[in-house]
Copies of this chain bind each other. A is one copy, B any other.
Amino acid sequence: MEQVKPRRAKGGRTSGRVTMATVGRIAGVSQVTVSRALSEPDKVSPATLKKIQQAIEATGFVPNAIAGALASKRSHLVTALVPSLTNIVYSSFVKTFSERMREFGYQILLSETGFDPRDEETLIAAHLSRRPDAMLLTGIHHSARSRQMLLGADIPVVEVWDMTSTPIDMCVGFSHVEAGRAVADFARELGVERAATVTANDERAARRRDAFAQRFLQAGGQSVEAYDCDGPASIAAGRGALKALVDEKGFASGVIFCSSDALAHGVLIEAQARGIAVPSEIALIGFGDQEFAAHLEPPLTTVLVDRERLGHAAADALLERIEGGEAPAAMVDLGFQIIRRGSA
Contact = CB atoms under 8 A, between A and B. Distances in A.
Interface string A1-33: 101110111111111011000000000000000
Contacts of A5: 166, 330
Given A10-B321, A66-B70, A265-B292, 8 more contacts: A3-B330, A4-B167, A10-B323, A13-B154, A66-B75, A85-B95, A235-B295, A266-B292
Given A88-B88, A129-B62, A272-B297, A152 B95 contact: no
B126 A330 contact: no
Given A14-B154, A234-B292, A95 B66 contact: no
A331 B127 CA distance: 33
A88 B262 CA distance: 13
Contacts of A131: 64-66
A35 interface: no
Given A1-B331, A107-B130, A330-B4, A154 B292 contact: no
A111 B7 CA distance: 27
Nearest to A232: B291
Given A65-B129, A109-B109, A329 B8 contact: no
A236 interface: yes
Contact of A11 (B11, B94, B297, B324): B324
Interface in A159-183: 165-167, 169
B165 A4 contact: yes
A156 to B, nearest CB: 6
Copies in the complex: 2
A65 B15 contact: no
21 contacts: A1-B329, A4-B165, A10-B324, A10-B327, A11-B321, A11-B324, A15-B154, A17-B154, A64-B70, A65-B131, A66-B66, A85-B95, A98-B112, A107-B109, A107-B130, A108-B109, A110-B110, A234-B291, A235-B291, A235-B295, A273-B297
Contact of A295 (B94, B153, B236): B236
A296 interface: yes
A269 interface: yes
Contact of A129 (B60, B64, B149): B64
A276 interface: no
A17 B331 CA distance: 27
B236 A291 contact: yes
Contact of A86 (B66, B92, B125): B92
How many chain A residues sit at the interface, stated as a range, is 35 or more
A66 B69 contact: yes
Interface string A76-95: 01000000011010011011
Nearest to A3: B330
A148 B60 CA distance: 8
A1 B86 contact: no
Given A10-B321, A66-B69, A329-B1, A292 B91 contact: no
A284 to B, nearest CB: 15
Interface in A283-336: 291-292, 294-297, 321-325, 327, 329-331
A7 B62 contact: no
Closest 8 CB pairs of A and B: A10-B324, A235-B292, A65-B129, A11-B322, A236-B295, A60-B152, A86-B91, A62-B128
A73 interface: yes
